[in-house]
Amino acid sequence: MALDKIRLIASYERKIIRRHLLFWIFFICIVFGITGVQVDSTVWVESALSATVPYMNAWLFNLLQSLLVIFVGVEFIWRDRQLGTNETFLSRSETNVEYMFGKIWGVMKLCLLLNLVSIGIAIMIHLLFMETVAFKPLLYLFYLFTLTFPALVFVFGISLFAAMLIRNYYLALLLLMIGFIGSYFATPWVLYGTFDPWARSLPLLFSDAIGFANIGILLLHRLAYFFCGIGLIFLSVLLVKRMDDRRSAFRKVLGILASGFILLGIFAGALY
């Protein structure tokens, strides 16, 4: 794989998404919506744990991030099929793997940047309005890597996979939204949160006295969704029919990796 090609495609994909009205709607919701909810929660000033602000910020961001990723994941597959916005790359020598990895990295990097913006706002709220609550910056990184990032990978993976299998844009979007609503509100408390990609039912709030309860079990849960998400992303790359690069040995490796990651995710979920 050529990393310079992947970076170029990723940069182009980010520019396309930033020009989309939907992106700015979610950006406004993230900046002003999350900020408004956290500033309005003045009761935290007197009673909150040090983890309340970073945890609530990650919890709220997860909701908006998942909606954004579902729309973007389905939309960029449909865009390639219908609008020809990437014909510059489709006519060049990039393999399917390079092309899809570039687009995927472009979307994920944009989501990570939005997450960092959200974290920066939460830190300012913490320092300006909650002087009596202990400030522990490492908690923000902990929730980034254990709460929002695994959810990003899984939701993006399943969105891409569904968009590749279901060629109708609106049907794919409808089924994903039904799945999102069902899993977000109905399944979090089934089998102790096994079917909860957003970890809403898990005890992830850090205690200043005892830390995290059963941290190993919690990490196992998050790894299950992270591995399944990686596997679904690899499977989505294999389903691309942009050009015939089946002779590439890397495609076989990719197939093995996709199966391996999904099996790892299922195994971690079973252990959980």
Instruction: Give per-residue pLDDT as tens, 204-222.
Output: 777 766 667 777 888 888 9
Count the Cβ atoms, other than its own, within 10 Å of residue 40. Answer: 9
Distance, CA of 139 to CA of 50 (rounded, Å): 9
**Nearest C-alpha neighbor of 195 from the set 209, 180, 217:** 180
Map residue 211 onto helix, strand or coil: strand
Question: With 90 as the cut, is the pLDDT of residue 181 above it?
Answer: no
Query: Of 91-105, 158-172, 254-268, which gets the smallest average pLDDT?
Result: 91-105
Q: Look at the chain and count its residues.
A: 272
Give me the phi and psi of 208, to 5 degrees please.
-65, -20
Cβ pair 261, 224 in contact under 8 A: no
Cβ pair 217, 225 in contact under 8 A: no
Q: Tell me which amino acid residue 214 is.
A: N
| pLDDT per position as a tens digit, 21-56 | 878 888 888 878 777 777 665 555 545 677 778 888
Band the pLDDT of 241: cuts 50, 70, 90.
Answer: low
**Nearest C-alpha neighbor of 48 from the set 218, 212, 206:** 206
What are the structure tokens assigned to 131, written together?
């002087």
Does 100 or 91 have the greater pLDDT score?
100
pLDDT of residue 149: 93
pLDDT of residue 138: 87
Average pLDDT of the chain to the nearest whole number: 79
pLDDT of residue 46: 45
Cβ pair 79, 165 in contact under 8 A: no
**Nearest C-alpha neighbor of 180 from the set 14, 89, 96, 68:** 68
Q: What is the mean pLDDT of residues 69-78?
A: 81
pLDDT of residue 83: 53
Distance, CA of 111 to CA of 117 (rounded, Å): 10
**Nearest C-alpha neighbor of 67 from the set 198, 195, 211, 186:** 198
Strand partners, 92: none
CA atoms within 13 A on the CB side of 57: 30
Map residue 15 onto helix, strand or coil: helix
144 Rama class: left (phi>0) / alpha (psi -120 to 50) / beta = alpha
